């Protein structure tokens, strides 16, 4: 059987989640000079956690 849309089929069969640990830029402004915990707080504000995207606790 030929699969017309293999990516869509694979997404349904093999769920993938993205875990973000740091943010280096917010709205064009670098965050690299900020302490890590402040960057993590900014990241948590940016990401709406769900089954496919997570910001794990540090």
Predicted confidence at residue 32, as pLDDT, reads: 97
pTM of the model: 0.67
- Residue-range domain boundaries for the chain: 6-54
Distances (CA, A) of 7 to 2, 17, 46: 13, 15, 27
Bin 4: left if φ > 0, else alpha if -120 < ψ < 50, else beta. Answer: alpha
Predicted confidence at residue 1, as pLDDT, reads: 58
Predicted confidence at residue 3, as pLDDT, reads: 65
Say how far residue 23 (Cα) sits from the centre of its chain.
10
- Chunked into runs of 10 residues, the chain (58 residues) has average pLDDT values of 75 85 96 96 91 85
Nearest Cα residue to 18 out of 57, 53, 55: 53
């Amino acid at each position: 059987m030929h699969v017309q849309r293999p990516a869509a089929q694979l997404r349904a069969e093999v769920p993938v989640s993205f875990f973000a640990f740091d943010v280096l830029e917010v709205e064009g402004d670098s965050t690299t000079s900020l302490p890590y915990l402040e960057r993590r707080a900014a990241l948590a504000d940016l990401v709406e956690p769900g089954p496919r995207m997570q910001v794990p606790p540090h």
